[in-house]
A and B are shown apart, each in its own frame.
Chain A
Amino acid sequence: MAVGVAILGSGNIGTDLMYKVLRNPHLELRMLAGIDPASEGLARARSLGVPTSTAGIDAVLDDPDIQIVFDATSAHAHLKHAPLLKQAGKVAIDLTPASVGPPVVPAIPREHDAWPDNISLATCGAQATVPIVYAIRRVAEVEYAEIVATIASKSAGPGTRQNIDEFTVATARALERVGGAARGKAIIILNPAEPPILMTNTIYALVPEVDPAALERSVQAMVAEIQRYVPGYRLKVPPLVGEAPDGRGRLVTVMLEVEGAGDFLPRYAGNLDIMTAAAVRVAEQVAAARQAPAA
């Protein structure tokens, strides 16, 4: 049986999320809630038969059949939403940078960890790169991981632009806490080329030693796992193993690109698509856990 979900925020992210949820057999979209009656997202929802509200979070809190709520508003708004959703017994999947809950990347197995009631999706840069660090970590000790996320200027909204330090710091932390690197560093670059470039990501990792064949298998397996929910996630340069700059240990380099599904957001905005795709993937996992008999 499908689990009832709602989306807060009727902007570009909320609208793209709506298309992905509508396609998902495990989730039932019960509400798209915004605050602007003139929003294009709300109009699209109405035309697709999705119930809408311009009362923001209130309409969502009133519906007991909504179990999971995607928050695609802003960090500021999510800080207000988080306690209300918790009180109402709903699981929040937060796409904003509010970081109320621990950072989550759905490609990384959670083993026996229970889902928290507030799930903070790690940044788009982390969604694209942390799984690769984790895949390297499966076959080698990662002393240091560094990622470079390059995105099209057009795909970087004012939220990203005004909070660029928060983005690099949060991504670096996710490389450590979720990816398993001892130390992490993240760099973000905006490229204004026309036509817009696809999101490209480079992952560097310093490891004491690594078996190249095992590394290749681990990375390829992780890419396949991500492709289950982000079909446009592609390896551009398979794991290269070279000498570390200080001559001690090995430097692993992996490059990939992310093309969006083009549900509502343009295809070049892989950085946004990987967020909405990850949100839906997490919702599926939470729904499955809720429906499984208690252990």
Chain B
Amino acid sequence: MQAGMQAGTQVGTQAVLRTAPQPAAQASSQERAQAAGGDGARKPRVTLVDVSLRDGSHAVRHQFTSDQVARVAAALDRARVPVFEVSHGDGLGGSSLQYGFSREPDTRWLRAAVENAPNAQVSVLLLPGIGTRRELKEAVELGAKVARIATHCTEADIAPQHIALAREMGMTVCGFLMMSHMISPAELARQARIMEDAGAHVVYVVDSAGALLVEEARARVQALRDALECEVGFHGHNNLGLAVANTVAALEAGATWLDGSLCGLGAGAGNTQLEVLAAVLDRMGIDTGVDVYGVMDAAEEVVKPMLPRPIVIDRDALVIGYAGVYSSFLLHARRAAERFGVEVRDILLELGRRRTVGGQEDQIIQVAYEIAQRGGARSSA
């Protein structure tokens, strides 16, 4: 079975029409075709982006080997996934005591990915404040073609330097608005405009906490679709079991770049499961260009044997979605709970109450320490 055998549904057509206007300040048609990952003649309507080797890095505590990267990259390439991302979970330069040291430098992972993917474009993630333009330049030299510049959803204005550099270097650039559940659709759209104005080809609604309900995901994508000329993307997490449903809602609201990962490998309860999404989109008649059997095989035969633990919605992952906490806090909170003799759930709920944002892993230690000082009560949540 091949994907896209019934192209041209109502949804897919709308998605294309909505992205049609191309004012001078925005991407040229060629760039846009490149951004969509196609050759223009048979341009897929939706660009699927695999994040197994980036968001998945959180789930393996950044311990991928280049050999594993090479095998996943080759499998994704064979399955005709147009774009896949390779970086430390917290982006280029993320290797640190705060987030966990990488087993190997980003540069080695990138080299392994590029060498094993003759067709797919390799993406890198960069969080301004963690990584810098220097790492982005290195990544381009190694063959990265797509840059995703991520900020907390209210802080888009720390990204323009990085977006502009990525554009200058000829990359396809995505703005990545993390923790999108924390602000209203209208506020999110205002932030998205900052990224579009800086030169982003795509701006993403990123549900980092896996906290969005279906209607909330739809409303945010819709708000961006109405406010922007560029393409809109959606990146989901499955902490509330809604990742695929939210991604479909995002598509219906006009998102054309959709993220997923093989076996759902990612932070928290994992990402939108790519092979499931590919199958669902195929059933919906959406042309993604991806070989559905190919991604199923890549998940089952290549990634599944690498999993350190099953990617499931266990109690702690569910609390992350329920409390609206950054998904990659999960394993850090488990370690802190053990170290200080307190309950994981108490730490996570307190982090939600303090409105922590992505990257504040040090707060996990502080919260666990403070709960322990107060008597370390393992209370019921």
- Measured CB to CB, the nearest residue on chain A to B160 is A162
Q: Which residues of A contact B128 (CB under 8 A)?
A: 164-165
Interface band, chain A:
20 to 34
Contact B98 A204, beta carbon cutoff 8 Å = yes
Partner of B366, one of A189, A191, A237: A237
Give Cα distance in the complex from A116 to B210, angstroms: 53
Q: Which residues of A contact B96 (CB under 8 A)?
A: 146, 185, 187
Q: Which residues of A contact B357 (CB under 8 A)?
A: 189-192
The proximity string for B residues 352-365 relative to A, scoring 1 for CB distances below 8 Å and 0 otherwise, is 00111101101101
Q: Which of A59-110 contact B (CB under 8 A)?
A: none
Q: Is B378 an interface residue (CB 8 A)?
A: no
Give Cα distance in the complex from A236 to B73, angstroms: 44
Q: Which residues of B contact A206 (CB under 8 A)?
A: 97
Contact B359 A192, beta carbon cutoff 8 Å = no
Interface band, chain B:
20 to 34
Q: Is A161 an interface residue (CB 8 A)?
A: yes
Q: Is B155 an interface residue (CB 8 A)?
A: yes
Q: A153-B154, A204-B97, A245-B101 are in contact. Are A187 and B369 (CB under 8 A)?
A: no
Q: Which residues of B contact A189 (CB under 8 A)?
A: 129, 152, 357, 359-360
Q: How far is the CB of A123 from chain B (nearest CB, A)?
A: 13
- Measured CB to CB, the nearest residue on chain B to A253 is B365
Q: Is A188 an interface residue (CB 8 A)?
A: yes
The proximity string for B residues 87-131 relative to A, scoring 1 for CB distances below 8 Å and 0 otherwise, is 000000000111011000000000000000000000000001110
Contact A251 B97, beta carbon cutoff 8 Å = yes
Q: Is B28 an interface residue (CB 8 A)?
A: no
Top-3 shortest CB links A-B = A202-B362, A193-B355, A165-B132
With A200-B366, A237-B369, A245-B97 known, 20 other A-B pairs at CB within 8 A are: A146-B98, A161-B155, A162-B161, A164-B161, A168-B130, A187-B98, A189-B152, A189-B357, A190-B129, A191-B152, A191-B355, A191-B357, A192-B154, A193-B354, A200-B363, A202-B98, A202-B365, A236-B366, A245-B101, A246-B101
Q: What are 23 A-B pairs at a CB distance below 8 A?
A: A150-B360, A153-B154, A153-B155, A162-B161, A165-B132, A165-B134, A165-B161, A168-B129, A168-B130, A185-B96, A187-B130, A188-B129, A189-B359, A190-B158, A191-B360, A192-B154, A193-B354, A193-B355, A200-B363, A202-B366, A242-B339, A245-B101, A255-B365
